[in-house]
Each structure stands twice: as structure tokens, then as C-alpha cells.
A and B are shown apart, each in its own frame.
Chain A
Amino acid sequence: MPSSVFYRQFERHDHAAGLHAHATTYCPGCGHGLAQKYLAEAIDELGVKDRTVLVSPVGCSVFSYYYFDVGNTQAAHGRAPAVGLGHKTANPDSIVICYQGDGDLASIGLAEIISTAQMGIPITVIFANNAIYGMTGGQMAPTTLNGQRTTTTPTGRNLFAGQPLKVAEMIAGLDGPVFVERVALYDNKHRTHARRSIKKALEMQVNGVGFAFIEVLAECPTHLKLSPEDAELWVRDNMEPVFPLGVLKDTSDGPHYPTMPTPSFDPELMLKVLGTTTENPERFATGFPTHLDPDDVSLKLAGAGGDGAQTAAMLITRAAIAEGFDSTYIPSYGPESRGGTSYADVHLAAKEVLSPAAPHPHVLVAFNAPSLAKFGPTVRPDGVILYDSSVITELPDTIAAGVRVVAVPFTGVAKELGSAVVKNIVALGALQGVTQMFPKDTFLAAIRASLSGHRAMLALDMQAFERGASLGADAAATL
């Protein structure tokens, strides 16, 4: 009897049930039917019918889900390997098979097949190559032979239309797959071999070995405009010389793909992984820094990438939130990872930060001259500018009257302490010293909490903060 992996009856759309619901949609003599029959037998023989998820492609085999009595997913054109990867990662116990044709896999879906194959995840891909687009009516496929006439290469495929793509060789050239073979269906011997290879490829998934790929040279009598018999000969005489048969890669005796774990939903582990705590941060401030603004203080920290403006901004935000206020910061940087511009806007609000940008900050911390020139004029008349006097030698004349300008050698102090990297912490200290926004302990606690991953730096950070704070306080006293 037919393989039990085939439905006892093929559901089709209701106005065309085909040959009484027991025949496929494939044309007489089509290679798809054979490849799928061998695939069904392999599923049957390996006893994995219940675990199998078959991903149907777009193309002549689009309706594979009509035939296979397994879990079925129908994918967009070319995307079967990505869909298959989704299924396999969702349930590593499922047996995922992507069945694809040459237009689907070798043209629109190249990125998906190459990347999935290279990842080596244990799924099985059966690739039917018949050198032509079938469903859309005989157009050129990536695998169409040189000189072959199709409806879009009416005088034969020439070099301008590219050359036939040797997909199995391409996949075999990747590190990810464990098994790649090209087989054919044109005579008894090759059919017997093809059915064995398909089973072998599937078995590799069942045993968790890895990604296996079988390219099947299939006949398309209809669009080759040949009898089924002549189509078999055409594959033998024309396709096989271009697409040689055989095993192109077999590393199945090597290491298996790693076992995929089962996701954890343990609340304790999750809370730990997310870095949550139950410690309530200590409060040191007696209230909101109303001497700066009654309910919303904004700051801008500006420098070059690597100056540490972002870290300093984050520390201010953390400090304010630890004191029970609302606070936000937003970074803004150029495209460079290092050396470009790097700005941060910070707000702290007694109740709620209403607008996170700081176009007119109360406080500007400038790490270099361009930042001071750019943002100095935007500071409020009653505001404060703190700048790194180690690198900024001249003040712009565009700063509003009334703005208090404080020079602290961030970089110089940091270098003196042993590392220029902590200049942002010197600046943070200076900010505290000048503005008395919060007590020193507030910031020190924020530094300890935030930079706990870099314990080695902590002592240096503490020193840098204290030096900055004392320089800032001194400078403020002379204003």
C-alpha cells in the first residue's frame, strides 16, 4: 500500500479535486512525485511521521501539504530554510524538512539556504533541480543550462543570462552542512540510490548529526516539451554532465550539532539574569535640587566618542532615580564607534520628565572645544558650564552673560591618577562640587552600583570622583 505518510485522500480546492483525490498536482512524469514518494517512505521507515514538520515552498511543489500527513507549514517564496530554522529552534525534537525547487531555493531564496546551511542546524533540505521554472510556465531558472531555450531565454541561455548555478557544490563548500549529495531519477539504478540518499539525509537529522542537503535532478517533461521518457534521457545526457552526481560532502562521522536546551521559565533564574535586585538604594539627598530648578533640571554632556560622556550621563540618571526622582538620558552620537561626536541629554525631575531633550540645559559638561563652541551658547543665562581645561584653551565669546563657567582639567587629573579613561568620573565629581546637585554619597553609590562589573577600576573611580568634587567645590567658591 502507499506510504502511510501520504494522506488517504488529497484535499484540493473544492472545484478541482484532481484524479479523485488520489493523484498529485504534478504533470505526468514529473520528478517531484518520485522525490516526494521516496521522502514519504523515508519518514515512514524512520518512524518520525508524528514529529515531522514539512515546509512547503512556492513553485510546483507548493501543495506538498496536500500529500504529507505530517505537521505542515507553507512558506513564502524562497524562505523555507528560514521558516524551517524557526520550527527547529522552537522544537528541537521536531524533524524539519524543507522541500524546495530551483527557482525557490537557488534564485530568490539563496540568502536563506546559504545562511541556514552554514549554521549547520539539523534540518533536511530536498532540492529539486529541473533546470526550469515550472509553475510560472517554463521560464529560465538559475540552473537552466547554457543554450537551453525557455520562455525568457527564447534563443537559448547565453552568457548575458548567466551560467547554470551549481548549488550542491556551493552548499558543499560551506563548513556548516554534514552531508551534501546530488542524485538523479532517470533510471532504476539512480532511483534506488536516490531513495537511499534521501533516507540517509533524513536519518542524519533524526540522529542529531546536522544539516543535510540532497539535490535531486528532476524531470520536467512539460516545460522541456519532451515525453517523460525523453525527459529522463535529457537529464542523463544534458544535465548530468553539468551537474555531476555523487556525494559532495560527508562529515557525518565528525562532531554532531550541539544539543539545543529547553528554555527555562524559572522565575528566580529569570530575575537574576535580568539583573534585578531587592535592595533599596540608600538615599542621601534631603530633597530635589531646587536651587537649580524648582522641578526639572536638564544637563548636556558633550565630547568625542570615548570621552565617557554617556557613562557619566547614565550615572547621573541612576543617582537621581536612586534618590526617588524621575530621570532620563538620551545619547546622540555620530556614525563613528570612537572619535566621533558623542552627546547625552539628561533630565531629572521632581515628578516626571516631560521632554527628554535638553535644547537649553541648566548645565553643560564639555569635554572638547567643538562641543563647548556648539552647545555653550545654548546654556540658560543662570546655568553652569563645566569644561575640560586640559584640552580646551580658549573660551568662545558666544556664551550668554550670567552663565557660570568653571574650568577643571578632567584629563590632566585623570592622567595624574594613572588613567585618562576616568576623566568622565573626574567631570562627574566636578559637577557635584560645582552644582551640589546631590551629596557626594549619592554619586558614589551610583558609581559602585553601576560599575560593579569593573571592580578593578572602582578604587580609581572613587579617587577620580573625589578629586573632581574637591576641584569643583574650590572653583565654585571662587566664582
Chain B
Amino acid sequence: METRVTTIVNKPEPMLLPEYCKGCGRCIDSCTKDCIALGTEINPLTGLVPVVLDLERCNHCGLCIDACPEPFGMRPEGEEVAFELMDPAHLGGPRPFDAPTPIPQPDVTVPLPERTTMVMKGTYAAAVGAVLAGCRHVYGYPITPSTEGAELMAKVQPALDGVFVQAVSEVATVNMMYGAGGAGKRCMTFTSSPGFSLMLEGVSYLIGAEVPAVFVNIMRGGPGLGNIAPEQSDIKLACRGLGHGNTQAIVLAPATPQEMLDCSMLAFELAFKYRNPVVILGDGYLGQMTGKVHLPDHMVVPGIPEWAVWGDQSHRGNLICSIELSEAGLEAHNQALDAKYARMSAAEQRADLHRCDDAEVVLVACNTPAQAAKGAVKELRAKGVKAGLFRPITLWPFPIDALRTVLPNARRVVVVEASSGQLEDELRLALSHADLPTPPLSHVRRQGGVLPSVSEIVDHVLTLPNSSEREVR
């Protein structure tokens, strides 16, 4: 028969600093010796009524300590007794912890050998770009016409011991990115317009907590379920409506499968440079279009940023959080975000200028419509019209500095887009912010899944006054 030995743990007597007691009295019932009673006197420092201890009969059972909901409330006598009471006005500021300062583990760029030109669709190219950029964490929810990107990742990531998780929804997806991005990892998702709408709550949190993440939104026809055909329906959302609050993110608009890859790599670089999400907007055509893609000459092995909540000793002091309760604190946070947005605006404008040097008719277009516009430039030039294409690659920040160089020659600006003026609104806002006069502006717009065609653009330009003949200003 087994012998039972009862070990008596000699627990110390309880002690309580009245200043740390809220007087809830949960300890009173826990005491079998009736040592504790509700107090009767208001503590002048706290305004609360702490319990009173009479420890004559105390048997050191420790149950009152276990019953106290306050970490610094009822606790064993004899250890670290004296807590200096501090003036509330002097509290706040950095949390006191003894974790060592994290040592940044920087990203490493690894050269790659020359590879044969590949043939792949736009969503695949974005996925390949992400893999090259060191993304090994992909979260997603299937939605046409972006799903192939996720499908490729579901094959590629496990083969690289990376992570692909199909989430229960886009809402869960973006929050998984908040977790993995907060841990300092390069993570991404593929989605399309309705899914992107669902993610916006999380995007606001990512921006507020300064967590990097990359979104590839293959835009489709809206509003509502709309259809699965190409539209540029989310330019407004990405540039002006990333969830609630003061939010802004770099928005990239590739035009070819090759650029899908290039922009995907760039997106991760920018996301971590600024600790901010980056949105890649493609249209349904671009996502589905198969074309040639050349791999870059390098890949990235990402490190662990010093701010990451990674889950080890040196990162223990970190916090990923978008709460700032004090008005002054939140205003300061927003001003810091504004300063960051200003840095992005100054440094990250990107545009492609095609035959703009002497262009009198400047077409403005992005994504697949920009390819049609390029075709229109060729036809218009053949007809003697000095046409050019100004193609923003960053939709936010709008590349106004580059546009400024084109405007002096431009007699007409024609915005070509597959939406009801969302790109034109960005152009007009950028002109206004830059105090530039709006040039004579017209547009070729299609919606519902129809892209502007070369002939529509050419016909429109040819009907414009003074565009088909030279005129001295």
C-alpha cells in the first residue's frame, strides 16, 4: 500500500498595503479563521475602503492571497514590502521591464543566378515576387479572380516549409496578418474587391499599430457582388478609405505580369521600410493574364525587426497596439503618422512616362487600361497626334512631381480608366494639393467589367478640339 505523505508548506503570513486594496472583500470568505473584515475607514489616498486584517488566528494557509484579484493586493509578508507611492502625475511613459534591448537582425540580400524567362499569370507572378521577397507566411480566403495566387502559395509555401493558412473569412485573414506581421514576419494575402472591403477594419488596425503587410487586390466589378470581370473599382478605397481613422498606405498599380512580380517585391521592401501595409491593385485582367516574366537577380532572406513581438527574451518588452487613450497621446500618434505619410509622399512616387517628352495629348491610365492607352498612343502618333501616356505606378502617393514635368506641353489630358472616375479623382486631388491648374481634362471610362479599348481611346482623342493638328500656343 502506498504511503501518503502530507507536505505542509509553510506559507508566510499575508500582508496588505491598504493603498492597493479595493475593498472587494473576496478574501473575507476565503479565510477560515475569520481574520479579515470589511473596513470602515476611507483610505485618503485612494478614496476606497480597504479590508482590515487581524492576523492573531492566522494559520498561514494562503487562501486569502489566492482569493485577491489584485496582483499587488494581498500577498505574502516579508518580500519586497515597501512600494513607494508615486504621484499619478509622474506615472505613464515606458513600461518598466528588464528585457534586453533587441538587436536588429537585418534582412540579407542573396544574389540569384540568371534563369530562363517564365510564362505565368499575373497572380502567380505576384506570388513569385512575394516568395523572392522572403514572404513565407500567406493567409487567405478564396475569391475570384485572385484565387490562383493563393492556390500557388498553397503549393509553394509547404515546399519551402513556409505557412499557408486558408482562413475562415477575410476578417480572420487580415487579423492573422496582424499577428504574423506583428511578429515581424513578411506576410501577405490575395483578395478581390468584396474581400478587400471586409479586410478594411483590420487594415486600419495594421496602420494604427504600424504593422507591415502586403495586400494583392485583384479588383473586380462592383458594387456589391458585382461580377468577376475586371474593374478598377477600389482605387478610391485603397487611396482614400483604408478603414476608419487617419489611414494611408502606399498603393501600387502594376500593368503587366512582370510588374506584378516587381511590385510584389517592392511592396515588402516598402512595407517594412515604413512599418505600414502596402496595397497592390491589379485588375481582373491583370490577375488572369498570362505573360512572360523574368526573375530578378536577387532574393531576400528577412531578419527580425527590433520592434517585433517575436516571442523571445529580447523582444519581450515590445507591444503591438493601436490604442492610445489620452487625447494628447493620440494626437501625437496621428501627427507621427502624418509625418510618415509625408515621407512616403516625398520619396515613393513612381510613374512610367511613355512618349511624354513632346506629348500634347497626355493619356493618364494605370493597370491593364494603361496597356490599351499605350496602344492608343501608337495609333495616334501614326495619325500625327502627339500623344503620350502618363502611367502612375503609385496611385498613392500620386506621382505629381513627374506629372508636373509633362504638363507644360500638354494641351489635353485624357484619363482612361475602368471605373467611374476614381483615378481621375486622384489626379484632380493631386493637382489641387500641388497648387497646379487643372489642364483641359476629359476621360474614357468603362465599367462593369469592360475595359476601355484602343479604338475607344483613339476615337475620343480624335474628337477633341485641336488635338489632331498642331497649334502654336
Contacts and interface: CB of A to CB of B under 8 A. Distances in A.
A72 B30 contact: no
Given A14-B329, A221-B24, A265-B301, A79 B316 contact: no
B175 A82 contact: yes
B178 interface: yes
B95 A22 contact: no
A357 B92 contact: no
B285 interface: yes
Interface residues of A, number: 121
B224 interface: no
Interface string B25-61: 1101110000000000000011010000000000000
Interface residues of B, number: 122
A354 B311 contact: no
Interface stretch (B63-71, B215-223, B270-278, B390-398): B63-71
Nearest to A33: B69
A330 interface: yes
Contacts of B372: 354-355, 357
Interface string A42-65: 000000011111011000001101
Interface in B158-174: 159-163, 165, 167-169, 171-173
Given A7-B96, A32-B69, A74 B291 contact: no
Interface in A224-242: 227-229, 232
A83 B69 contact: no
Interface centre among A52, A70, A76, A278 (most CB of B within 10 A): A76
A291 B221 CA distance: 38
Contact of B91 (A12, A55, A267, A270): A12
B242 interface: no
Contacts of A50: 99, 312-313, 316
Contacts of B311: 51-53, 71, 87, 91, 93-96
Contacts of B182: 73, 83, 86-87
A277 B115 contact: yes
Interface string A75-100: 11001001111111111011110000
Interface in B176-197: 176-185, 187
A86 B183 contact: yes
A130 interface: no
A112 to B, nearest CB: 5
Given A71-B318, A86-B178, A265-B301, A321 B113 contact: no
Contacts of B161: 261-264
Given A15-B326, A37-B69, A280-B116, A9 B91 contact: yes
Interface stretch (A23-31, A169-177, A378-386): A23-31
Contacts of B321: 56, 65, 72-74
Nearest to B139: A86
A217 to B, nearest CB: 14
B402 interface: no
B442 interface: no
Contacts of B1: none
B115 A276 contact: yes
A325 to B, nearest CB: 9
Contacts of B22: 19, 23, 27-29
B52 to A, nearest CB: 15
A43 to B, nearest CB: 11
**Shortest Cβ-Cβ A-B pairs, 3 listed:** A86-B179, A94-B311, A33-B69
Interface of A: 1-3, 6-9, 11-24, 26-34, 36-37, 40, 49-53, 55-56, 62-63, 65-67, 69-76, 79, 82-91, 93-96, 111-112, 114-115, 119, 187-188, 191-192, 195, 221, 227-229, 232, 260-265, 267, 269-271, 273-281, 313-314, 317-318, 321, 326-332, 352-357, 359
Given A87-B309, A191-B66, A313-B290, 9 more contacts: A2-B72, A21-B86, A26-B69, A79-B202, A261-B161, A274-B131, A274-B156, A331-B288, A355-B371
